[in-house]
Amino acid sequence: MTERNTTIADHRYAARVPTVPEQPLAPTGKLRDARGRLLHDLRISVTDRCNFRCTYCMPKSVFGKDYAFLPQASLLSFEEIARLVRIFVGHGVEKIRLTGGEPLLRKDIERLVAMLCAIPTWRGAPLEITLTTNGSLLARKARALRDAGLRRVTVSLDALDDRVFRAMNDADFPVSDVLDGIDAAQRAGLAPVKVNMVVRRGVNDHEILPMARHFRGSPHVLRFIEFMDVGASNGWRMDEVLPSTEVLARIGEHFPVAPADPNYAGEVARRWRYLDGGGEIGVISSVTQPFCGGCTRARLSTEGRLYTCLFADSGHDLRALLRSGHSDEQISGALALLWGRRDDRYSEIRSSATASLRRIEMSYIGG
């Protein structure tokens, strides 16, 4: 393993064991942080492994053939994940997103989906369960996921040009297989499929219009994401960020669009509709238009570390509580203390100084 790999692996394991309150803290379904933000969304990384080496997420220079991924015993079991979800639900979580790495690499992932779909929200309604994937295994897994109860998927796709796409995923994976996966998801009823494109100026920004043309008029929703300074390995530079305003301007020159109302409070993607009825697109502008003020998301790593911000530098070891005999009531109380002290607002205070700080890699806690 290279020195750089060792640094990131050591940093990945940094976590504190949460404090368990002496007196029970009864969940109310409306847990708020120090800034008054509710806990509503939980993103769960089910594996730190991926079969792509996207240059902005898991570059080969860091995640090479000698990189030490987590051993199986370190990963949360499906039963442990389901137990934590029940605890989070008591505090107000109503939406679960399964991520990775690449979540479809986790063996029997559809069994976890079925387990989570059986958990109601604190209001008694079904949980909203979604999954984000690079699409490489989606064609063969879509039907099983739908049969297990999954209702929707998000697929990452950064270009339609095969040469550009292969260069960005750095695994020589063809774009046609991802498109086949999207079609399979649609046929299986995992709809509408959301398609995420990370836009990097000078790398794939020339693919904005081809992507818009391809998905316009389809049932899918294409979303453009600003290149973010997540983690410490993607070589992020502000001059490679293409503001969402420019993305919209490029599309608007050919296909006029108008803003649409958000689907729910705290939605990170700003919605736009084609004026001629050709569907909708979205933009996620965490660099140029931060949305920290409405962030309701917590993130759980594959080994049970809780992160209260995508740009965190350390986590909170919930697995230690699970495996040391603590009760659900005690873990619930620890979670209430953690979220109650949350004050994260990285994107609002981003600067050249903060952008250079070491942070947990996106591939470890999901995007």
Domain ranges across the chain: 3-365
Joined together, the tokens standing for residue 257 give 């669009």
Joined together, the tokens standing for residue 255 give 């296909």
Residues 6+ apart with CB under 8 A from 92: 28, 29, 30, 31, 38, 39, 40, 122
**Angle 149-154-155 (CA atoms, 0-180°, nearest 5)?**
125
Supply φ then ψ for residue 15, to 5 degrees: -165, 150
Closest C-alpha among 200, 301, 234, 228 to residue 62: 234
**Which pTM value belongs to this model?**
0.91
User: What pLDDT is recorded for position 12?
Assistant: 53
Closest C-alpha among 365, 344, 321 to residue 12: 365
CATH fold group of domain 3-365: TIM Barrel (3.20.20)
3-state secondary structure of 309: coil
Bridge partners for 226 per DSSP: 199
Residue with tokens 């659900």, as numbered in its chain? 328
Bridge partners for 271 per DSSP: 282
Rounded Cα–Cα distance for residues 230 and 228 (Å): 6
Rounded Cα–Cα distance for residues 306 and 364 (Å): 11
Q: Is 292 exposed, middle or buried (0-12, 13-18, 19+ CB in 10 A)?
A: middle
Rounded Cα–Cα distance for residues 84 and 307 (Å): 14
3-state secondary structure of 146: helix
pLDDT one digit per residue (tens) for the chain, 367 residues: 333 443 344 445 568 899 999 988 889 999 999 999 999 999 999 999 999 998 888 889 889 989 999 999 999 999 999 999 999 999 999 999 999 999 999 999 999 999 999 999 999 999 999 999 999 999 999 999 999 999 999 999 999 999 999 999 999 999 999 999 999 999 999 999 999 999 999 999 999 999 999 999 999 999 999 987 665 555 667 778 999 999 999 999 999 999 999 887 767 899 999 999 999 999 998 888 877 888 999 999 999 999 998 877 789 999 999 999 999 999 999 999 999 999 988 676 776 666 666 667 766 777 6
3-state secondary structure of 213: helix
Closest C-alpha among 166, 163, 145, 167 to residue 154: 145
User: What pLDDT is recorded for position 312?
Assistant: 79
User: What pLDDT is recorded for position 367?
Assistant: 63
For 331-364, b/e burial (b = at least 16 CB within 10 A) is: bbbbbbebbeebebbbbeebeeeebeeebbbbbb
Residues 6+ apart with CB under 8 A from 253: none
User: What pLDDT is recorded for position 251?
Assistant: 98
The residue type at 277: G
Residues 6+ apart with CB under 8 A from 146: 188, 189, 190
Helix or strand (DSSP H, E) at 196: strand 194-199
A 10 A CB-CB count for 120 gives 13
Rounded Cα–Cα distance for residues 140 and 118 (Å): 24
Rounded Cα–Cα distance for residues 284 and 347 (Å): 12
User: What pLDDT is recorded for position 4?
Assistant: 40
Closest C-alpha among 269, 321, 317, 291 to residue 130: 269
CB of 304 closer than 8 Å to CB of 322: yes
Rounded Cα–Cα distance for residues 299 and 288 (Å): 23
User: What pLDDT is recorded for position 36?
Assistant: 96
